[in-house]
Amino acid sequence: MRRSRKRSTLANRAIAASAALVLGGGGLLAANVYASAGEGWSGWSREQRPQTKAATSVNLSTIDCPEVANGLPESIPDQARGEVDLELARIDNRITDAYQRLAQSQQQMREDPRFADNVILTPLKDERLASIKRIATAIQRFGQRPDGMESLATCTLRTAPGQDQGGDQGQGGDQGQGQGQGQGQGQAGNGPVASDFVDIRTVAPNVRVPRQQRGASRGSFTSSCGRNENRKFNSDNVIVAPGVSNGAHHMHDYVGNQANDAFADNRTLARGRTTCRNQGDRSTYYWPVLRVQNGQDEQDADQDGGGKDQNVGQIQTPAQVTMNFVGSPVSRVTAMPRFLRIITGDAKAFTNGDANANASWSCTGFENRVQLKDKYPLCPQGSKVVRTFKFQSCWDGRNADSANHRTHVAFADGSGRCPRGFRAIPQLVQRIVYDVPPQANFAVDSFPEQLHKPITDHGDFINVFDSRLMARMVDCINTGRRCA
């Protein structure tokens, strides 16, 4: 039986009220805590970010909750996975609804310092605690009950020190070309803001590449799967929230496998059509859509994942999408297991911190010198915006997935070596190019409480190469050839 959930009535009507309150409250929900323009990767951590529990300041910007998935044991019994995934998705839904409540309650918070605790944070804690207990019970039925997860129930309100209270964050000052348009904040109601952007020409070079050593696998394999010209979108996430409609609360672009939605399983994906030129690649590649907030509505303006989740503006079809699989600078690579799932980046990095943030931003002509993680680039005339995802290139040799969808794979260290117990696999390097105006009015879709920050960008991949094509990929990479 398919599991699905509908958003609450409150969440369904929150977008208009939220935008009005944000703009009327001095840009309350459009705050940012990043470094000044030009600093690039600011490297803040969860411990460095100021927080407060009571609504005592109009600087409060969003809701910050510990990531429950990070408290799960490394191994979850297969019989419990469905219930665990469902409860994790419910937890995300409750955070989103609480954020919408926050957006609607600015006046009450000013009048009553206890309002946020009583009406938003305490009910949210109780709901999260109930889900956490159900998760622990589901695991206990088939294994050992996890300890300590209850400590992850409490959420706080994030502060944004130094925010401009004049409500003009969208004006852009002198940070880059065209930023005076100021359309970003006004359209989305919760971001982006001017300080999320930086003129790429002002950023110091920061790219470092490991030196290839003896024994390196120097080849590459390219899979050509199109640019999502057929506009396949949905707001599901079959890796993190299988069986749950709108599990991502933001729209994804899909290339490759066309059977991907919340209810797809391995058998569904194995039979799915693919947009890839080589039909031996039925893998699914997906990432949050990029929108230009130009005052024009997209077809999803009244849908989950779109306007109902505060993702507004026109979805941009990439000008170019490239999927390259490359080798290790220190060793040969081994084949990926079929149905291996990898997530790179963190959709909640604005509140989680930068530990898993990985996607990067640049401009054509600058990619070999500058990569940004916490800023959107403003590119000079004639240059295009580039998103790059370098996926984890080390695999534990056993598991196609893990409880938090991360620990079965890992990144190589600075020299290119995998952690002990992991083996090198072909690394997916995904490059997405957009032809957007050099204005501060574009952003990736995000969970509403993540405020469309660039640091929340992320990519998802499920390997559905057939064994013959995967063997060819590995051979090409290990023998130093360039294949497609």
DSSP string, 435-478: ---SSS-EEE---GGGTT-GGG-EEEEE--B-HHHHHHHHHHHH
Report the amino acid identity of residue 98.
A
Tokens encoding 389: 């995802």
d(CA 231, CA 250): 15
The answer to whether 234 and 309 are in contact (CB under 8 A) is no
Instruction: Kindly write down the DSSP assignment for every residue of 270-322, as one continuous string.
Output: HH--B-SSSTTB--EEEEE-EEE-SSPPPTTTTSTTTGGGT--SEEPPPSEEE
21 Rama class: left (phi>0) / alpha (psi -120 to 50) / beta: alpha
- In 3D space, the residue among 197, 137, 151, 150 whose CA is nearest the CA of residue 438 turns out to be 197
Beta bridge partners of 236: none
- pLDDT per residue rounded down to tens, the chain (484 residues): 444 444 443 333 333 333 333 322 222 222 222 222 222 333 333 333 333 333 333 445 799 999 999 999 988 999 999 999 999 999 999 999 999 899 888 889 889 989 999 999 999 999 999 999 999 999 999 999 999 999 999 999 986 533 333 333 333 333 333 333 333 333 335 889 999 999 999 999 999 888 899 999 999 999 999 999 999 999 999 999 999 999 999 999 999 999 999 999 999 999 999 999 999 999 999 999 999 998 888 999 999 999 999 999 999 999 999 999 999 999 999 999 999 999 999 999 999 999 999 999 999 999 999 999 999 999 999 999 999 999 999 999 999 999 999 999 999 999 999 999 999 999 999 999 999 988 999 999 999 999 999 999 999 999 999 999 999 999 999 999 999 9
Beta bridge partners of 62: 158
Report the amino acid identity of residue 472.
R
Residue 204, C-beta contacts closer than 8 angstroms, at least 6 positions apart: 38, 40, 370
What pLDDT does residue 50 have? 35
Phi, psi (deg, nearest 5) at residue 247 = -70, -20
The sign of the dihedral angle between the CA atoms of 410, 414, 419, 425 is positive
d(CA 430, CA 287): 10
Tokens encoding 200: 């790429």
d(CA 236, CA 262): 5
What pLDDT does residue 189 have? 53
Task: With H, G, I as helix, E, B as strand and everything else as coil, classify residue 378.
Answer: strand
Angstrom distances, CA of residue 407 to CA of 72, 351, 412: 11, 20, 13
What pLDDT does residue 387 have? 98
Instruction: Kindly write down the DSSP assignment for every residue of 121-188, as one continuous string.
Output: IHHHHHHHHHHHHHHHHHHHTTSPPPSSGGGG---EEEP-TT--TTS-GGG-TTSSTTGGG-HHHHHH
- In 3D space, the residue among 401, 392, 279 whose CA is nearest the CA of residue 338 turns out to be 401
Helices assigned H by DSSP within 338-432: 349-352
Residue 258 has, within 13 A of its CA and on its CB side, a CA count of: 13
Q: How many CB atoms lie within 10 A of CB 398?
A: 9
Report the amino acid identity of residue 267.
R
Long-range (24+ apart) CB contacts under 8 A made by 163-169 are: 163/27, 163/31, 163/32, 163/59, 163/61, 164/27, 165/26, 165/27, 165/58, 165/59, 166/26, 166/27, 167/23, 167/26, 167/27, 168/27, 169/27, 169/30, 169/193, 169/194, 169/195
> Would you state the torsion angle of the CA atoms of residues 325, 330, 333, 339, taken in this order, to the nearest 10 degrees?
-60
Residue listed under structure tokens 């469309």: 452
The answer to whether 98 and 156 are in contact (CB under 8 A) is no
Angle of CA points 362, 43, 288, to nearest 5°: 45
Tell me the Cα Rg of the chain: 22
Angstrom distances, CA of residue 126 to CA of 86, 115, 248: 17, 16, 22
**Residue ranges covered by each domain of the chain:** 9-483
